[in-house]
Structure 1
Amino acid sequence: MENTVGDFLRSRRARIQPEEVGLPSHGRRRVRGLRREEVAQLAGVSVDYYIRLEQGRGAGASDAVLAAVARVLRLDEVEAAHLHVLARPPRPAAAVRGGQQVREGTRLLLDLMAGVPAFVLGRRMDVLAWNALGDAVQGFSAVPPEQRNAARYAFLDPAAREFYPQWDAVAAETVAYLRLDAGRYPEDPRLAALVGELSVRSEEFRRLWADHQVKQKTHGVKLIHHPLAGELDFGYETLAVNGSADQLLVTYTAPPGSPTAQKLAMLASWTAPGAPVAAE
């Protein structure tokens, strides 16, 4: 799977014009943004050293050098951490060949959050478990187990564009999060297969993937057009499931008394109580 430090650094060089960092911009330039030698100069390293870094031969790069490059390229905190991972790749981790396991305690927590739509995302944005209200909002149980993946839904299901009125934002966020996963697990064959499938079947995915944006999934807003309840205007929060690597608990929230909260109460009244539905 393509995911090199060189591609990432070149995409970030292209964002910055020389005059933005105090360099003259004379004559015709063959590349957009900063040249490699300009990044090297501003970061205080030799051109040869920086070229080796872009070529993926920077495994011995120090924290100070990577921090200097991140400063020059104006990387945010997530991008800077991503650069460290790409420049000094982790040892290959064993691929998750079976289903990712959700602890019973996490399933119980989902059940206890009866008034909050909630679900667990795992590696590659696979949807691993959810509670009844989460299912009422997202419809996870209607999807075949092998297709329960947030990225696959966003790009390959025609209904996603109507379900997410702000589809462009959802799509960009989805790809940026997958990029982080690809950096952490460059040897994951299942992730490579997912990226390959999405690239072949979705022009929008190919365009966004080539842009090398990275973003953590932390919090934000999510507008949903529900087939029964209509417009749902959520805030969302994600919490890392400690002790379960690469699992996130995602919750949707709405202020008490708001139109969305009233519609959630209606959906909850249609949902029978019981244990959370979860992937087999």
Structure 2
Amino acid sequence: MGTHSELGEFLRVRRAALQPDDVGVLNYGIRRVPGLRREELAMLAGVSTTYYTRLEQGLSTNASEAVIGAIARALNLDEAERAHLFNLARPGKAKRRMPFKPDKVRPGTLRLIQSMSGTPAVVLGRRSEVLAWNALGHRLVAGHLEYAAPETPSSRPNMTRLLFLDPHTRELYTRWPEEASRAVASLRLVAGKSADDQELAALVGELTLKSQEFAKLWAKHPVENCMSGVKYMQHPEVGHLELNFEVLTPPDESGHRVLLYAADPGSPGAAALQLLQGAGDFEGALRSAAEIDR
């Protein structure tokens, strides 16, 4: 994922998505390509067409913050998209590539989610890999996988990979296109901050080759900082679930996220979660009894 090529693609996609009427530009004649012309966007941003063209072509690497901000305004970018543009246009200094070291959940975070027995919780790494989950979180999002799967890096589930390539996960979400768009937009935001992350590049490459739906969404350059919302599920054990979700981020630079699910009090979703928790507690008691008998 070359930073300069990503910058050019992002600018082209966003420019093509804007119509002249959206930004008050007079539309003269027939347009051969969708969206604004380069010269029109350059005019809106107050820069020369030549300079803007060099940015799209990845030939200019020292754009000022004022210029980037002006282009962001001309493109009508929201806060997350604007931050993404700055990440692409002003990448940090390249760091010496270190050997890959598997990530792991902080012990304190693990204790926290395990203490929340009535709240489904999943800890994700920066590439959406599952670092840990509590019993209810596992049963909710991936009960068909082994509970201990996140403990081994080689078998660690990845929520984005599961969403696009795992049939069980796809069937879980009744609004799968919405969930898929949200996942790709979040991954794009991470990619803009981690241009030299080879593992992330490998994940994107794998999904692009194996899923046409992922490839189409990725090419649109969606960007969104998904911190809260609603997930609509059809769970194989308890049926329909409408759950609120919140994403908590630790104040360090790990890139970890704690994904929490909750239902409105007294709602069918709350009853379904209690049922799911009860079924898990029952199975856990059976396993413990079987181990004692041995």
Cα offset, 1:147, TM superposition: 4.8
Structure of higher RCO (CA pairs closer than 8 Å, 6+ residues apart): 1
For 1:100, the aligned partner's letter is D
**What is the CA RMSD across the aligned residues, in angstroms?**
1.9
Distance 2:42 2:108 in 1: 50
Tell me the equivalent position of 2:79: 77
For structure 1, which runs of at least 5 residues remain unmatched after alignment?
Answer: 275-280
- Give the C-alpha shift of residue 112 in structure 1: 1.5
Deviations 1:68-90 (A, max 9, x none): 11111100000000000001112
Call closer, same or farther: CA 1:38–1:95 in 2, change over 3 Å. farther
Matches of 1:57 and 1:95, distance apart in 2: 28
Where 1:142 maps in the other structure, the secondary structure is: coil
TM-score normalised according to structure 1 size: 0.92
Alignment of structure 1 residues 201-220 onto 2, 5 Å? 201-220=210-229
Q: Deviations over 1:34-83 (max 9, x none)?
A: 11111111111111211122122333212111111111110000000000
> Could you tell me which residue of structure 2 aligns to residue 137 of structure 1?
140
Q: Verify the 8 A CA contact 1:92 1:185 in the aligned structure 2.
A: no
1:8-47, aligned counterparts within 5 Å? 8-47=10-49
Show the 5 A alignment for 1:180-199.
180-199=189-208
User: Identity of counterpart residues, as a percentage?
Assistant: 47
Whole-angstrom distance in 2 between the partners of 1:107 and 1:118: 10
Structure whose alpha-carbon radius of gyration is higher = 2
Q: Does 1:109 align with 2:112?
A: yes
Cα displacement (A) at 1:114: 1.3
Cα gap change, 1:25 to 1:13, in 2 (>3 Å) = same
**2: distance between equivalents of 1:125 and 1:96?**
20
| 1:233 has 2:242 as partner | yes
Contact residue 126 and residue 257 of structure 2 kept, 8 A: no
* 8 Å CA contact retained: 1:6, 1:56: yes
**Is the 1:221–1:235 Cα contact (8 Å) retained in structure 2?**
yes
* Aligned-pair CA distance for 1:6: 0.6
Match of 2:77, SS?
Answer: coil
For residues 120 and 266 of structure 1, what CA distance do their matches in structure 2 show?
23
C-alpha displacement of 1:251: 0.3
Runs of 4+ in 1 over 4 A off after TM superposition: 93-96
Q: Distance in 2 between matches of 1:251 and 1:22?
A: 43
CA distance in 2, matches of 1:234, 1:57: 46
Equivalent position SS for 2:104:
coil
Query: How far off is 1:218 after superposition?
Result: 0.4
Deviations 1:74-108 (A, max 9, x none): 00000000000001112335467222121111011
The range that moved more, 41-50 or 15-24, is 15-24
Q: Give the number of equivalent residue pairs.
A: 274
**Higher helix fraction: Structure 1 or Structure 2?**
2
Question: 2:101 is matched with which residue: 93, 98, 108?
Answer: 98
Gaps of 5+ in 2: 286-294
